[in-house]
Amino acid sequence: MTTDNRSMNIANSPISAYLQGGSGLQGTATTKSASGTAARSAGVQVLDGRIEKDATRLATLGALSTTLDGLQATLKSLKTHGMQFSAAATGTAVGVTLTSASPALATHQVEVQQLAQAQQLVAPAVKDASAPLGTGAITVIRVSVGDATKTVRIDGASSSLAGIADKLRAAGVDAEVVPGEKGYQLRMTGQTGAANAMRIEVAGDATLEDMLTWQPPEPTGLKQTAGPRDAQLTVDGKAIRSASNTLAGAVAGVTLTLKAPGSSTVTLSGDAGAIGRNVQDFAAAVNGLGKGLAALKGEDAATNSVVGQVSAQVARTLQGSDTAALAAIGITVRGGTLAVDAERLDAAIAADPQAVMDLFAEPGNGLADRLAASLAQQLGHGGAVATTAAKTQDEIAALAEQRDALAALDTAAAGTAAGTPDYTGAGAGGYTLSGLLQQTSRLSLFDFIV
C-alpha cells in the first residue's frame, strides 16, 4: 500500500470531520480549540465502533470454525475409524469420540473431580477505554509463562486501555477490554493448566507499572479472578491430572472431553446396530450444521457472505454424491440436509452392512470423506473463512493505528493548551495534519503525530 492510498483512506474516513472548519493542526496553537479536541474524540469513538464491529465479526467466524470442527470430528470418526463401532458416555461429566479403528471393547468408569482452568487477571477500571494512561513514556510489558516470554512496547499513542489490549493481542496474549460497574477493565487470560501461570513485568511509566504488574506475592494493581489449575479425574480408579480438558489415551481408543465434575460410564461396543446409529449421527450432524449456520447470520454482510459460501459448498457436496444409492438405503438429500428412513436403513444394513459403510466411509469416495475435504477447503488457507478472518485482522490493525494517532493528537492538543509552542503551518506539505496527508513520501507515525 502506498502512502498516497493510506492518506486517502484517512482523509476519506468518518474521522475527516475534524479536518474541517479550522479544527486541524493548521495555523497557530490557538486554533486547537475545544471543538477540535471534541471532534478528534468523536473520531476515536467512531474508530472504536468500527474495531468493535470487526472484533464481533472475528468472534462470529470463530464460532463458525467451531461449528465446522464439530461436524469434522463426526466425519473423521466415520471415515477413519469405521462405522461398526460406537462409543457412548452416560451422565454429563464427559463426552467421548472414537480415535481408533480397532478399539478395545469395554466399559470404563470415569469420575471428574475438577476441570482444567485458565488463569485470568483483571486490571483496575478506568472510565474511558480510549483515553491515554500515564505520561506517555515508553513502557515495556513482558508476559512470561514458564521459560517463554512475550514482550510488548507501549508508547503515548498506544497507552490507552484499548491500545494496550491491541498490542498484547498482536503479541499473542489473550487480552480484551471488558465493561464493568466502575468503567472498563483490561482482562488477560492464560492457557489452562497449573503450569501456565502468568508473570507480568512492567518497566517505564509509573501508572502502567502500578496497574499491570503481576509478580506474586508482591501486591499489584492486577487482581486474579481465576487461578490456573489442572483437570483431576479417575478412570477405573486410576488418578489422572491433565493441563487440558481434552484427553487422549486415558481410555484406549477414544478421546475424552471433560465437561463438568461428576460421574460417567464410557462404553465401547461393536455390532451391526452401531452402523445404523452412526448413519443417524451423521445425518443429525449435517442437519445441525444448517441450523448452526443460520444462527450465525446477522447484519454484517461479510459474515453472511462466508456463511452463505459454506452452506452452498455443503449443499453441492451432498447433491453431488450418489443420491440414487443413498435413496436405496433410505437416505434422501434435500438441499443441504439429509432425511433418514430408519426402517429402510435397517433393512439395507441387514442385507449388506459393508455396502452401507462404503457409501459413507470408503476412503476418497465415501460421503464422509468428501464432505470432510469440502469443509477443510473452507477452513484452510485461501478458503472463505480463513481469508475473511485475515482481512478483518488486518483492518483492525489499521483502524487501531488510526485511533492511536488521533488519541496522540488529543494529548498534543492538551499540551498546547497548557502553553507549549505554537505549530505554524505553511500550507500543503508543511507540518499541518492536512499538509501531512498530502505528502507523497512515506510518513512515519512520529511525523503524523507531530
Question: What's the pLDDT tens digit per position in 332-365?
Answer: 998 889 999 999 999 998 898 888 888 888 877 8
User: pLDDT band for position 36 (50/70/90)?
Assistant: low
Which residues make up the CATH 2.60.40 domain(s) of the chain?
118-226
Question: How confident is the model over 42-70, as a mean pLDDT?
Answer: 85
pLDDT (0 to 100) of residue 423:
38
Residues with Cβ < 8 Å from 239, sequence gap 6 or more? 232, 233
Is the pTM here over 0.85, yes or no? no
Of 108-112, 123-127, 379-383, give the lowest mean pLDDT range: 379-383
Please name the residues in contact with 224: beta carbons below 8 A apart, sequence gap of 6 or more. 119, 120, 121, 122, 214
Percentage of the chain with pLDDT > 70? Answer: 79
User: Which H or E run contains 42?
Assistant: helix 34-81
Confidence of residue 35 (pLDDT cuts 50, 70, 90): low
User: How many separate helices (H) and strands (E) can be counted in the chain?
Assistant: 13, 17
Highest CATH level, class, for 118-226: mainly beta
Long-range pairs of 350-357 with CB within 8 A, sequence gap ≥ 24: 350/272, 353/84, 353/272, 353/275, 355/329, 356/83, 356/275, 356/279, 356/329, 357/82, 357/83, 357/84, 357/275
- Tell whether the model's pLDDT for residue 446 goes beyond 60: no
pLDDT tens for each residue of 384-439: 898 998 899 899 888 888 888 877 776 666 555 545 444 333 333 333 333 333 33
Whole-angstrom distance, CA of residue 43 vs CA of residue 23: 13
Q: Which of 69-83, 157-171, 247-261 has the lowest mean pLDDT?
A: 69-83
- Which range has the worst mean pLDDT, 124-133, 309-318, 420-429? 420-429
pLDDT at 262: 97
SS3 77: helix
| pLDDT score of 168 more than 50 | yes
With 50 as the cut, is the pLDDT of residue 8 above it?
Answer: no
Between 264 and 448, name the one with better pLDDT.
Answer: 264
% of the chain surpassing 90 pLDDT: 42
Residue 270 has pLDDT above 80, yes or no: no
Long-range contacts of 162-170 (CB under 8 A, 24+ apart): 162/48, 162/51, 162/129, 162/130, 162/400, 162/403, 163/130, 163/400, 163/403, 163/404, 163/407, 164/133, 164/208, 164/212, 166/396, 166/397, 166/400, 167/141, 168/141, 168/143, 170/397
202 confidence band (pLDDT: 50, 70, 90): very high
Grid cell of 392 as nine digits: 478483518
CA separation for the pair 357, 353 (Å, rounded): 6
Backbone angles phi, psi at 264, to 5 degrees: -145, 150
In this structure, what DSSP letter does residue 117 have?
A: B
- Candidates 218, 269, 288; CA nearest to 73 is 288
